[in-house]
Structure 1
Amino acid sequence: MAMVDRAIDGRSVFTLIVFLATNIIIIAPVSVPIPLRVWTGARQTLIYLRALEPARGYRAAPRFRFDFSTVPVIAVLLLLATRCIGGEDVYKGIVGSNGIKPYDIMCLFISLAYISISLDATGLLRFLAFWVAKRGGTSGRRLYLLLYLFFLAYGLVVGNDPVILSGTPFLAYLTRVADMEPTAWIFSQFAACNMASLVLVSSNPTNLVLAGAYSLSFLTYSANTVLPFLAAAVCVFPILTFWTFPTPKYVPRMVNQPDVDPRVALIDKSGAIFGSVLLITALAVLVSTSTAGLHVSVWQVTIPAGLLMLARDIAHDLHVSAILRMLLSQERDELVALDQADASDGRVLENTADEVQAAEDHIEIIDISTGRQRSPAQSAQEDLGPITTTVRTMSQKTLQSLLSGLEHQMPTVAAVMPRLPLALLPFAFSMFTLVQGVSVTGWLAVFTHWWAEYAEKTGPVGVVFLMGLISVLLCNFCGTNIGATILLASILQSWIDRYSPPARMSAGALYALAIGSNFGAFSITFPASLAGLLWRSILYQKGIELRTLQFTKLNLAVIAVAMTSACTVLIGQLYVAY
């Protein structure tokens, strides 16, 4: 974002107020009822245009929710209407400027997210989690350590979101059947996957922002973040074990292992192999092209990879649908032959037609944790649930409905698409635009001057620790870690362009921001990251309710140790490298 030296005026103040108000509402979303007259008029218009079917009975007007997906967009429109920003600023918020390319970042993130979620839909993560759990045996402490290491390793490759999507329901199931208090296990998982997301550029949108802003190759970024990550990972586990959750109430000495074959969880073995190879290949190409200095945009690598995974899912679903059609045809022929045989013997039952018509026709998905049977539609909606195994029973009526729509014809695609973080697109583009507005109205120059004064007086050590502290705090009070990273990266970019600080100080501030933007997810509030909101939502669905005060209390020691150890190693690394 370009820094503008202009006097602070009324538009500058209004822009900053809108920016701060946007972040506050993102932290504490609100919903308001839509006026009945407005709702009725809108419904009648849609019905007249035949875009909506008339509804029988009274329907109350819905509520409009002001949250991360709506408020930033409204804020941008408000600043445009008041002429605080112009169309050029919106353009830069989407296309980018000074090395930050929002569209490139979002293309990479969504593409890799599809691959990771599709890979998760094959049951790979849950298969591996069960396999690791089996290695833990009946020792609670050993199982706790193995799962912590597993979530670190898996999160390092695929990022935090896939681990939360499947790992959280897995832990809810594991702790329930083993009769364990789940708190220690879920907090360990949440800290592990968010620490692991620091290492690879592709694992978190905040990493993409920083790499783009400073034109860092993927290998350079990872080389500077892997040691701080390892230091934090090593130091956090003893804190979790002996300080935060010290008693057997949380991590019992002996556990009851679930009697589940891990292979049951692997729903699609070929898909797991294909997705794993594709993801690793895409990451390898990203690292090699950026390291070699080739002028290849990241979307040119990730979008083809994402489309290839989508094509594989479609082909797989169509293949399965063809098999179901064949089975349907065979069963229909058998029913006709049976009916003819009964008629020829004079033993036709009066209720045969009714029984065939009423016969259950479905693919049952049995939830191992509860024994419930779920329809395919419920399965797609509850795909965050525990391990499932498919038991197929064929009959006519439900198979026809199964093949009638997209959800039935392509269940994998229908299950993956709703889990894509598409709501992140308007949020991210709007936040880039809001920061651009803060910049052009003069505030970025003010913030940059404050930071330059502090950096000059404290040196690299002060820069690293203060940037780490500020980034963690702003994750909680600046519209998630994405909003915080966009703002702070812009300040650092302006500081480097204007004041040309020593390389040791600029690198220290950059990587301290990377550490804080990832670790800030497990600090004070759930909205510190979108991953935190997703994690809390899944836990609530599984009957595990967490309060913000509890979240803060249990994370304070963990985030303090994680940030201190990572920043200390970063400082030592700076003095060796520079």
Structure 2
Amino acid sequence: MATMDRPIDGRSIFTLIVFLATNIIVIAPFSISIPLYIWNGVRKTAVSLRVLEPTIRLHRSPRFRFDFSTVPVIAVLLLLATTCIGGEEVYKGIVGSNGIKPYDIMCLFISLAYISISLDATGLLRFLAFWVAKRGGASGRRLYFLLYFFFLAYGLIVGNDPVILSGTPFLAYLTRVADMDPIAWLFAQFAACNMASVVLVSSNPTNLVLAGAYSLSFLTYTANTILPFLAAAVCVFPVLTFWTFPTPKYVPRIVNQPDVDPRVALIDKNGAIFGSVLLITALAVLVSTSAAGLHVSVWQVTVPAGLLMLSRDIAHDLHLSTLVRRLLLSKDDKVAALGHVEDPNGRYLDGMANEEQPIENSVEMVNIPRESQQSFASSSRTQSDATATPVHTANPMTLQSLISALEHRLPTLTAVVPRLPLTLLPFAFAMFTLVQGISVTGWLAVFTGWWATYAERTGPIGVVFLMGLVSVLLCNFCGTNIGATILLASILQSWTQQYNPSPRMSAGALYALAIGSNYGAFSTTFPASLAGLLWRTILYQKGIEVRTLQFAKLNLVTIAVAMASGCAVLIAQLYVVY
């Protein structure tokens, strides 16, 4: 981010106030009622534009929520309206400046997120988790260690968000059927996947911000973060086991294993293989092109990979839809065989073939989830009826009805897309713009001067530990770890350009920020990261309550040990390398 030698004035103060207020509201969101006449007017307009179908008018006021997905955008609009920032700052908040390219970062993140979530839809993560649980045997401590290691390994590859999306429901199920307190298992998972996300540039948006700001190759970044990660991972597990959750109440010595064949969880074997190869290939290309010094934008690698996975999902759904439609329009015995779709136990269509039905007609239907089968069957019956007898409806086609029709024809796609962290897009672009506003109104020069004075007096050790501490704290009080990383990376970039610190000092501050921005997710508040907000939402849906005070209390020693061990190894590494 560019800086400007501009004195602090009224607009500077107002910009800082808006920035701080935005971060406070992100931490403590709230909602307000929308007057019914406004809401019904909006709905009436949407119905007239054929966006929504006609529905019964509401008799209770809906609410508008001020949170991370809305407040940063409102803040940008407010600063634009008061001329504190201009169009150039908004442009740089999207396109980027000084090596930080927000659009490139978000294209990479969303593309890899789609591949990861689509992989989860195949049942791969559930299969692997059940496989690991089977290997754990009846020993609670052994299972606890294996799952901790599993979430470390999987989080290192795909990042923290996909692990949160899939691993959290799995642990809720596992602990429920095993009659165990879920807290210890969930906190171990949350710490493990957030520690692992520090290793690869592609595993967390904060890593992408830092790599872009300093023009780091993926290989260079990983080489400098792998040892601090390993140190933290090794030191945190004994803390979780013997300090935070020391009694059998949390991790029993003997556990009741779920009597489940892991292969049952693998819904789409071919999709799992295809997605795994695609993800590994995309990551390998990213690392190799970066290490070779080729000037290839990351979106040029990840967007085609994401589109390839998207195309495969669409083709897979259309193939199954056609297959089901053919089965429904064929013989009556095949139609009757679909009665297995209504199985209340939610089993898959493994028993579709019987003595009267050739197995080749049903093999493609094996491992289709019950919900997808119902969607396909409903869609096919509707199309069959429409072919036989034209039905004229008084309701015109609307966007809402079109989306509903797509849900029947493309169940995989409509299951994956809502799980994408799309709300991250306006949040990230707005936060980039707000930090750009801080830069051009003079505050960045002030913060840079404070940091330069401190760094000169304390040296590399002081730089590493203070940046680690500040980054963790700002994750909790600066609009999640993304907001904290954007601001601190801008300060470090300005410090490097203006004061020319030694390579040891510069690298120490940079990688301490990388560690703190990832580990800060498991510190004191849920909004310290989007993963924390997502984790809390899933737990609430599963009937598991984790209060903010409990979250901070149980994470306090964990984050202290993780940061201390990671930063200590980083300092030793700095003195060896530089």
- Relative to the length of structure 1, the TM-score reads 0.90
Displacement of 1:41 after TM fit?
A: 3.3
Work out whether residues 402 and 409 of structure 1, in 8 Å CA contact, stay in contact via their aligned partners in 2: no
Structure 2 Cα separation of the partners of residues 120 and 444 of structure 1: 42
- 1:378 matched to which residue of 2? none
* Shift in alpha-carbon separation, 1:202–1:534, aligned structure 2, 3 A: same
The answer to whether residue 122 in structure 2 is matched with residue 141 in structure 1 is: no
* Shift in alpha-carbon separation, 1:570–1:75, aligned structure 2, 3 A: same
Give the unaligned 5+ runs of structure 2. Answer: 348-366, 385-403
- 1:408 matched to which residue of 2? 408
Displacement of 1:57 after TM fit?
A: 4.9
**Matches for 1:409-448 after TM superposition, within 5 Å:** 409-448=409-448
- 2:218 matched to which residue of 1? 218
Work out whether residues 376 and 408 of structure 2, in 8 Å CA contact, stay in contact via their aligned partners in 1: no
- 1:376 matched to which residue of 2? none
**Matches for 1:548-559 after TM superposition, within 5 Å:** 548-559=548-559
Work out whether residues 324 and 376 of structure 2, in 8 Å CA contact, stay in contact via their aligned partners in 1: no
* Shift in alpha-carbon separation, 1:7–1:543, aligned structure 2, 3 A: same
Structure 2 Cα separation of the partners of residues 203 and 149 of structure 1: 17
* Shift in alpha-carbon separation, 1:52–1:398, aligned structure 2, 3 A: closer
Deviations 1:224-278 (A, max 9, x none): 0000000000000000000000000000000110100000000000111100000
- 1:455 matched to which residue of 2? 455
* Shift in alpha-carbon separation, 1:511–1:361, aligned structure 2, 3 A: same
Displacement of 1:400 after TM fit?
A: 1.8
Deviations 1:436-492 (A, max 9, x none): 000000000000000000000000000000000000000000000000000000000
Structure 2 Cα separation of the partners of residues 367 and 80 of structure 1: 52
* Shift in alpha-carbon separation, 1:396–1:533, aligned structure 2, 3 A: closer
* Shift in alpha-carbon separation, 1:477–1:393, aligned structure 2, 3 A: closer
Deviations 1:134-178 (A, max 9, x none): 011000000000000000001100001111111111111111111
- 1:570 matched to which residue of 2? 570
Q: Quick one: which amino acid aligns to residue 488 of structure 1?
A: L
The answer to whether residue 193 in structure 2 is matched with residue 193 in structure 1 is: yes
Q: Quick one: which amino acid aligns to residue 381 of structure 2?
A: Q
Structure 2 Cα separation of the partners of residues 56 and 48 of structure 1: 15
- 1:127 matched to which residue of 2? 127
- 1:382 matched to which residue of 2? none
- 2:535 matched to which residue of 1? 535
Displacement of 1:182 after TM fit?
A: 0.6
Displacement of 1:405 after TM fit?
A: 1.9
SS of the aligned residue for 1:247 comes to coil
Displacement of 1:55 after TM fit?
A: 3.2
* Shift in alpha-carbon separation, 1:67–1:364, aligned structure 2, 3 A: farther
How many residue pairs get aligned? The number is 539
The answer to whether residue 254 in structure 2 is matched with residue 273 in structure 1 is: no
**Matches for 1:72-91 after TM superposition, within 5 Å:** 72-91=72-91
- 1:301 matched to which residue of 2? 301
- 1:512 matched to which residue of 2? 512
The answer to whether residue 292 in structure 2 is matched with residue 292 in structure 1 is: yes
SS of the aligned residue for 1:405 comes to helix
Displacement of 1:202 after TM fit?
A: 0.2
Structure 1 Cα separation of the partners of residues 376 and 255 of structure 2: 42
- 2:98 matched to which residue of 1? 98
**Matches for 1:240-255 after TM superposition, within 5 Å:** 240-255=240-255
Q: Quick one: which amino acid aligns to residue 527 of structure 1?
A: P
* Shift in alpha-carbon separation, 1:41–1:212, aligned structure 2, 3 A: same
Displacement of 1:364 after TM fit?
A: 5.1
Q: CA RMSD in A?
A: 2.2
SS of the aligned residue for 1:330 comes to coil
Structure 2 Cα separation of the partners of residues 394 and 61 of structure 1: 33
SS of the aligned residue for 1:116 comes to helix
Deviations 1:281-303 (A, max 9, x none): 00000001011111100000000
* Shift in alpha-carbon separation, 1:195–1:334, aligned structure 2, 3 A: closer
Structure 2 Cα separation of the partners of residues 88 and 514 of structure 1: 28
Structure 2 Cα separation of the partners of residues 53 and 390 of structure 1: 28
Work out whether residues 361 and 395 of structure 1, in 8 Å CA contact, stay in contact via their aligned partners in 2: no
Structure 2 Cα separation of the partners of residues 444 and 393 of structure 1: 56
Structure 2 Cα separation of the partners of residues 244 and 334 of structure 1: 56
Structure 1 Cα separation of the partners of residues 134 and 368 of structure 2: 18
Displacement of 1:401 after TM fit?
A: 4.5
Q: Quick one: which amino acid aligns to residue 280 of structure 1?
A: I
SS of the aligned residue for 2:143 comes to helix
Structure 2 Cα separation of the partners of residues 538 and 47 of structure 1: 33
- 1:179 matched to which residue of 2? 179
* Shift in alpha-carbon separation, 1:394–1:102, aligned structure 2, 3 A: closer
Q: Quick one: which amino acid aligns to residue 511 of structure 1?
A: Y
Work out whether residues 361 and 393 of structure 1, in 8 Å CA contact, stay in contact via their aligned partners in 2: no
After alignment, is 29-38 or 1-10 more displaced?
29-38
Work out whether residues 232 and 561 of structure 2, in 8 Å CA contact, stay in contact via their aligned partners in 1: yes
* Shift in alpha-carbon separation, 1:107–1:185, aligned structure 2, 3 A: same
SS of the aligned residue for 2:198 comes to coil
Displacement of 1:315 after TM fit?
A: 1.0
- 1:109 matched to which residue of 2? 109
Structure 1 Cα separation of the partners of residues 502 and 452 of structure 2: 12
Give the unaligned 5+ runs of structure 1. Answer: 339-355, 369-386
Structure 2 Cα separation of the partners of residues 75 and 43 of structure 1: 26
- 1:66 matched to which residue of 2? 66
* Shift in alpha-carbon separation, 1:137–1:3, aligned structure 2, 3 A: same
- Name the % identity: 79
The answer to whether residue 238 in structure 2 is matched with residue 238 in structure 1 is: yes
**Matches for 1:310-325 after TM superposition, within 5 Å:** 310-325=310-325
Structure 2 Cα separation of the partners of residues 70 and 222 of structure 1: 34
* Shift in alpha-carbon separation, 1:134–1:48, aligned structure 2, 3 A: closer
Structure 2 Cα separation of the partners of residues 364 and 83 of structure 1: 61
Work out whether residues 362 and 398 of structure 1, in 8 Å CA contact, stay in contact via their aligned partners in 2: no
Displacement of 1:48 after TM fit?
A: 4.5
Work out whether residues 328 and 394 of structure 1, in 8 Å CA contact, stay in contact via their aligned partners in 2: no
Work out whether residues 332 and 396 of structure 1, in 8 Å CA contact, stay in contact via their aligned partners in 2: no
Q: Quick one: which amino acid aligns to residue 182 of structure 1?
A: P
* Shift in alpha-carbon separation, 1:457–1:132, aligned structure 2, 3 A: same
Displacement of 1:389 after TM fit?
A: 5.7
* Shift in alpha-carbon separation, 1:248–1:408, aligned structure 2, 3 A: same
Structure 2 Cα separation of the partners of residues 329 and 43 of structure 1: 39
SS of the aligned residue for 2:545 comes to coil
Work out whether residues 520 and 559 of structure 1, in 8 Å CA contact, stay in contact via their aligned partners in 2: yes
- 2:399 matched to which residue of 1? none
SS of the aligned residue for 1:32 comes to strand
- 1:330 matched to which residue of 2? 330
Structure 1 Cα separation of the partners of residues 194 and 95 of structure 2: 28
Structure 2 Cα separation of the partners of residues 5 and 394 of structure 1: 61
Deviations 1:189-215 (A, max 9, x none): 000000000000000000000000000
- 2:474 matched to which residue of 1? 474
Deviations 1:65-109 (A, max 9, x none): 101110000000000000000000000000000000000000000
Work out whether residues 475 and 521 of structure 1, in 8 Å CA contact, stay in contact via their aligned partners in 2: yes
* Shift in alpha-carbon separation, 1:309–1:231, aligned structure 2, 3 A: same
